[in-house]
Amino acid sequence: MKAMRYIILLICGIAVLVVFAAYSHAELQTVVIVTTGGTIAEKADPKTGGAVPAVSGKDLIEAVPGLGKIANIEVVNLCNIDSSQMTPEIWAKLSQTVDECLADPKVRGAVVTHGTDTMAEGAYFLGLTLKSDKPVVFVGAMRDASDVSPDGPANILNAVTQVCSEEAQDWGVTVTLNEYINSARNVVKTNSTNVQTFDSGEKGYLGYIAMGKVVRYNDAPTRQKLPLPSNLPDVTFLSTFAGDDGSLVRFAVDHGAKGIVIDAVGAGNVNAKVYEAVKYAISKGIAVVITTRVYHSGTWPMYGDQGGGETLERDGVILGGDLTGAKARLLLMLAIAKEKGDVSKIKTYFKR
Ligand code: ASP
């Protein structure tokens, strides 16, 4: 009789534990982690010592203790490449994949693990093309999984924390490494080796994460949204330089570019020969955007002389404002596709 009582008590105890576990699991929000590769998913090759793609999405998650206590995690492995090999076409596939995941009502948001070399542009591309407004956090690492202190696991933990936080619900797409949160539009990679590499300059961070909490500083810039075209038009990105004879611009025109972005100097100035080549491009109906390598303030129609911003704008060039050249190229690709090459309409996407 006593044994029977013990068995019934044991069964009740197990039942309570199962219900509690199911309830707490059901309580947790669901976050989808879409992996694409990068240092965060690399290990040192024992033969060569160089970092090679070697960590699956599942391994990435298992390297983050306590992640399962913050959210229910679902993993989608899209690819496993160094982000120096990324293309706009892969980002288009990534955007479609993330939107499909976010369409599930139970999914709170997504984390994208990605290489840091082109992460700023990839995040910006998704910021332009995602239909969903749910939070998406790009995360990576500056030290690979074989390093003495990899930064990937903590970055993933912080990214999932951010997706689940109330403070982060209207930020759209961000880049979050080393606890600092940057908007996709303003973020740039500023250091080729240091973990504190992503920064937004004078525009500042959106916030940071500490002790498992999100601290909010700023709202994110207003998001522009453009549809993903079936084919992304060919847009060339060039940097001009002292003594540039404009031949690369002419080459791009003669080889089928539908748009050209030129990273110029100062407030968006080019030399006389490049100015002539730009006018040649415009005469062929090609959309030309001028950006500048100068980090803050960007391009302005400041100079009326040959090749100055005012002259260029008068002649039909689009000034890229304070967008980096690499990001302006992605915006121009999407705008050309949407507006079928109509430069007057394309220009509206670059207004400050
Ligand atoms: N080369 C690597 C990448 O961009 C660097 C990194 O992930 O930190 O994929």
Q: Which of 117, 121, 178 to mutate to test the pocket of ligand 1 (most atoms within 8 A of CB)?
A: 117
Q: Does the residue 193 lie in any domain?
A: yes
Q: Give the domain extent around 304.
A: 235-350
Q: Does the residue 181 lie in any domain?
A: yes
Residues 133 and 240 in one domain: no
Number of domains in the chain: 2
pLDDT along the chain (352 residues), means of 10: 81 69 71 97 89 86 93 96 96 98 98 98 98 98 94 97 96 98 98 97 97 97 96 98 97 98 96 96 97 95 82 92 97 98 95 85
- Between the CA of 54 and the centroid of ligand 1 the distance, in Å, is 13
Q: Does the residue 322 lie in any domain?
A: yes
Q: How many CB atoms lie within 10 A of CB 253?
A: 21
Q: Which two tokens stand for residue 238?
A: 């060039």
Q: Closest residue (by CA) to atom 7 of ligand 1?
A: 115
Residue 127 is predicted with a pLDDT of 98
* Site residues for ligand 1, CB cut-off 6 Å: 38-39, 82-84, 115-117, 140-142
Q: Does the residue 248 lie in any domain?
A: yes
Q: Does the residue 2 lie in any domain?
A: no
Residues 293 and 341 in one domain: yes
Residue 190 is predicted with a pLDDT of 98
Which of 216, 246, 267 marks a domain boundary?
Answer: 216
Residues 98 and 164 in one domain: yes
Sign of CA dihedral 206, 209, 210, 212: positive
Residues 174 and 256 in one domain: no
Q: Please count the helices (runs of H) and the strands (runs of E) in the chain.
A: 11, 16
Residue 195 φ/ψ region, left for φ over 0, alpha for ψ in the -120 to 50 degree band, beta for the rest = alpha
- Between the CA of 312 and the centroid of ligand 1 the distance, in Å, is 36
- Between the CA of 319 and the centroid of ligand 1 the distance, in Å, is 30
Residues 44 and 102 in one domain: yes
Q: Closest residue (by CA) to atom 3 of ligand 1?
A: 115
Residues 197 and 140 in one domain: yes
DSSP track, 261-297: EEEEBTTTB--HHHHHHHHHHHHTT-EEEEEES-SSS
Residue 305 is predicted with a pLDDT of 79
| Residue 310 to residue 250: CA distance in whole angstroms | 22
Which of 186, 216, 246 marks a domain boundary?
Answer: 216
Would you please indicate which residues are annotated as catalytic (active-site) residues? 39
Residues 202 and 255 in one domain: no
